[in-house]
Structure 1
């Protein structure tokens, strides 16, 4: 892989860049497809950039439904014709006693992590307002079904359902245009949620902010295209487009926002 590729990505992303290089070499040497775990939007962008620029291989993504945020990628030679079944993704619906309360995205996510499932092994957690579903790697589906019997105080049952029965998610991103003086994490949070820079800085330093599902305590962390920022108590931001700068050298952004 061309060593110059590293300059296009953050230093903390270099191990993932190396991983993609390994996948490319594997597909090229074995002339057979490689399936990844679930990637977040930033990882998918990095994979797409590298495969396009550093090989003649093809790739495609699948997350279970059209607007899926987390998706598995298949990298393959140009002769190959992938099918949906090859993404090895299972859709589970959660059955729980709805008359006694409600589940939440956070409770489901936390429970999956607490039973030892790494974040890259499962995809989106979706709801239509009452019913809940989530996607997992096929290879761990039986383990998940056996281990996930309670979420919070609820006794639950998982049912594997066909992808044609996927819910229409209730929550949807609001698309907004904004300008920011810097791509710093605290600056973007301050601008989008209309709070002071100091309060945004405090939120970051107190561990209430995650970038791409990893806690970030550096207010000066520089955001990049397709990063997703989760702010406890406020919601989420996705950097969808970076459209140059204004005359005053502010960054023009298209963002997606989910406000709590």
Structure 2
């Protein structure tokens, strides 16, 4: 098992243990295991741990082609799940948009206010004005009964089919730059074009996520594949670490959301 852990960060051990348990349950009972919605980093871990080398396989689906958050379906390798096996519902939020406006954080905040785990919800989609969200079917009736306002705005929910989902496609642009170290504050300073001091304040203030988890340590060591989210500044990904320059700086390539 140690060979699995060495490929990931120490703080990811607990989730790896959870995935190993899911895999064991599925294999021993010859039955599929459907998880909650997972962020892309968690999906990466599940894919690596379950693998395709033995009797187990894993498939992912989040409701749409471009879904970021997806449920994992761990099952015997001979089985190929269909979309319906992932038990996902798509809801459209209706509200008086001529008189009020709501935003992605408002919708997420109201969903979390229902007392359910974040894992019960997938992506929140928008066409700029209207909103939709994906949710686990097992909590559907509870959501339909209790989700009746966003902030102070009264809303109603309509269950719609996946082919009515708003298309959310992110475009990344590449940017080559140099940084003095691979610390989080150095990388984010290059990404946001702000001073290390300002970036450190953002990190310590809880406004930064790495791989969808809040990180408050400016000295956090970054590696290829890490995805950064900075409140108010958007998202970036550390695509490549190209090595050191003659002046001992790290040359990196960032992917930045357009």
**TM-score (structure 1 length as normaliser):** 0.90
Q: CA deviation at 1:155?
A: 0.4
2:98 alignment counterpart: 99
Match of 1:222 in 2: 221
- CA contact under 8 A between 2:66 and 2:167: conserved in structure 1? no
Distance 1:179 1:56, change over 3 A: farther
Equivalent position of 1:19 in the other structure? 18
Q: Which residue of the other structure, out of 166, 174, 177, is the alignment partner of 1:176?
A: 174
* Separation in structure 1 between the aligned mates of residue 52 and residue 200 of structure 2, nearest angstrom: 37
Going from structure 1 to structure 2, the CA distance change for 1:122 and 1:251 (only over 3 Å counts) comes to farther
Indicate conservation of the 8 Å contact 1:39/1:73, yes or no.
Answer: yes
- After TM superposition, the structure 1 stretch with the greater mean CA deviation from structure 2, 135-144 or 110-119, is 110-119
1:64–1:246: structure 2 CA closer, same or farther, 3 Å change rule? Answer: farther
Q: Name stretches of at least 5 consecutive residues in structure 1 with no aligned partner.
A: none
Deviations 1:161-181 (A, max 9, x none): 001111123x73433233453
1:72-125 per-position Cα deviation (integer Å, ceiling 9, x unaligned): 111111211211100011100000111112211111111111221211110110
**Residues 1:73 and 2:86 aligned together:** no
Match runs of 1:99-178 below 5 Å = 99-169=98-168, 172-178=170-176
Against the structure 1 CA distance between its residues 164 and 53, is the aligned structure 2 distance closer, same or farther, given a 3 Å change threshold?
closer
* In structure 2, distance between residues paired with 1:140 and 1:147: 11
Question: 1:77, 1:224 → 2: CA distance?
Answer: 33
| Contact 1:42/1:226, CA 8 A, preserved across alignment | no
Deviates more, 1:145-154 or 1:85-94: 145-154
Correspondences of 1:22-33 after superposition (within 5 Å): 22-33=21-32
Number of residue-to-residue matches in the alignment: 255
Distance change (3 Å), C-alpha of 1:179 and 1:29: farther
Question: Residues 89 and 136 of structure 1 are in contact (CA less than 8 Å); yes or no, is this contact kept in structure 2?
Answer: yes
The alpha carbon displacement at 1:32 in A equals 1.6
Kept in 2: contact 1:184–1:219 (CA 8 A):
yes
Deviations along 1:201-227, one digit per CA (max 9) or x if unpaired, are 111112222334433211112234544
Q: 1-side partners of 2:216 and 2:204: how far apart?
A: 5
Q: Give the alignment's Cα RMSD to 1 decimal.
A: 2.0
> What pairs with 1:191-210 in structure 2 (closer than 5 Å)?
191-210=190-209
